[in-house]
Structure 1
Amino acid sequence: MRAIILAAGRGERMRPLTDHCPKPLLPVMGRPLIEWHIEALARAGVRDIVINTAWLSPQFPQLLGDGARFAAQFPGLRLHYSDESAEPGGALETAGGIRRALDLLCADGDEAFWVVSGDVYLPDFQFDAGFAQAFAQGPLDAHLWLAPNSPHHPKGDFGISPQGLASNDVLPRYTWASVGLFKRRLFAGLPLGQKAALRPSLEDAIARQALGAELYRGTWVDVGTPQRWEALQPQSERHSD
């Protein structure tokens, strides 16, 4: 099963840090944030990872290459890039970016794939290969991992029904941790090369009872502000006020 790491955003709230460096390439705990995902996916057996890019897109292949630099630890790992910088409107948003990358994600005929945002830190998350295969063979269009709400998003996104489905009606609500499993059919009907947010596709899946969800209680940080990024630096490297 393949995976896509979403890394196309501008990171406006992270400026000036992101003026010259894409947010997923900023260092966290001594290495680029995106490498935490690459290595976690590779440990789970994923060998083809797509990275969608737009803002400062050349920096990604310059730093990460085609996967060969990880070969000693993860033989056969290959990185692919879906560069949205040449699109007329720039970055295509989450669903639009996934739609553009579908041929890369499903190149081997697989219908299911992992999705994780390149600007979240979740070092405890396990990309469970067995669970992924069961999902691929099941009826759901997507499965999300939700996290307890943080102070900057106190109302959350979805509840979890007793049947393990995402719900807009069940309380409490939790925040999507920006990681999940998805199937091609959720995006195949979207226009290619056009901006598209993910939420409408998720709402459609909820209406059809086709969106699974479960609670993730491991470490999770939305690295969305300089202050949150600073808090993830080793103590010796943090700036004093």
Structure 2
Amino acid sequence: MMVPMKIIWIFLILFLWQTDPYKSKREKMVESQIEARGIKDESVLEAMRKVPRHLLVPEKIREYAYSDMPLPIGEGQTISQPYIVALMTELIKPDKNMKVLEIGTGSGYQAAVLAEIVKEVYTIEIFEALGLRAERDLQSLGYENIQVRIGDGYQGWPDKAPFDAIIVTAAPETIPQPLIDQLAEGGRMIIPVGEEGKVQELILGEKVKGKFRTRFISSVRFVPFLRDK
């Protein structure tokens, strides 16, 4: 009897998970960098334990994948430190029924963490090389609930709206109105806001009775929010 290819892939992923030499590094990362700083959502902690971050960064810096710092991924962009990824994920209150938009795919790591928890992830990357690499890597890891688009994230993804949550991983000077418009009632957006080269504000917004209400979370530094010229 022929075994379906999907079953083979599942067993292969499980085998790699059990023999993954980076598993202990992920466990330590979650314990010392994430739980120790107050992240409590178990679905977020489990996703951070599971996603192979080392496979979503350039190979030459793979040994630093679980370090407590952002890392360069090419095109002048970075992958956020693990704690920031966990914090932003927890703040949208993710659950298995949610549809989430991410602006700034980067390496695909944040999308992968989301995909472990929510139903659908739509992610937009302005740099074609990064977007295509992330799409390839995410597919190779078996994520079927992530869609990647190359383009200007300012306008969001109108034909897939509304979204239950939006995560923005680059800092505009003001919150893009199209993203606010595409947020569902009761939905949450987490976004860094501020000028390039200066300390920015991580803002949590929530749409309540059609109005977008915001509050300050912490000071951060993100790459600038870029647009097509």
TM bucket (normalised to shorter chain) is 0.3 to 0.5
Q: What TM-score results when the alignment is normalised by the length of structure 2?
A: 0.36
Higher helix share: 2
> More relative contact order in 1 or in 2 (CA 8 Å, sep 6+)?
1
